[in-house]
Amino acid sequence: MIDTNEFIGLTRAWGALPGDGSGQIDCCALAAEMHKRLGYWDYGPELRQIFAEYDDDTLPPKFIAKWLLKNGTRLQEPEPHAVVLLPSPGVGALGTVLEDNTVLFIGPGGKVIRAALPTDDGWYFRLNK
């Protein structure tokens, strides 16, 4: 299993990237980094383009959901390494399901946490690339 301790406690900030030394991270960048570390498609470069075009106030509300549907397959149940779109004000938040069925995500307090979620909390996707 991948060590997620370096992410725990990082604070949410739009466009912040893992390893940039800021102590902050964006939920999309967190999910992309986990996806890459798990050996899958690195969609981080696409995200950086989105961060350059939008901010928290201008990202269209359904943007993330549409992007996930375009680039992934919706799952009926969570599975290891799936990306989860969690309900959140605005556009939602992304997390990653890990092998022990916990999810790494930015919690309601604005910091990265790892916790078990109810299987009916969010929408799960397997990215296709």
Please state, as a whole number, how many other Cβ atoms lie within 10 Å of the Cβ of residue 10.
Answer: 20
Q: Is residue 23 part of a domain?
A: yes
Average of per-residue pLDDT across 105-118: 92
Q: Which two tokens stand for residue 111?
A: 């910091």
Q: Is residue 2 part of a domain?
A: no
Q: Is residue 1 part of a domain?
A: no
The CATH number for 105's domain is 3.90.1720
Domain of residue 80: give its range: 11-127
β-bridge pairing 24-25 and 72-75: unpaired
Q: Is residue 71 part of a domain?
A: yes
Indicate whether 129 pLDDT > 70.
no
Q: How confident is the model at residue 118 (pLDDT cuts 50, 70, 90)?
A: confident
Q: Is residue 78 part of a domain?
A: yes
Q: Is residue 4 part of a domain?
A: no
* pTM of this prediction exceeds 0.85: yes
Q: Is residue 5 part of a domain?
A: no
Q: Which two tokens stand for residue 126?
A: 């397997």
- For 55-94, the pLDDT digits (tens) are 988 989 888 899 999 999 999 999 999 999 998 776 678 9
Cα–Cα nearest to 34, from 87, 122, 102:
102
How many structural domains does the chain have?
Answer: 1
The pLDDT mean for the chain works out to 90
More confident position, 70 or 2: 70
Q: Is residue 96 part of a domain?
A: yes
List helix spans (H) across the chain.
27-37, 44-53, 63-71
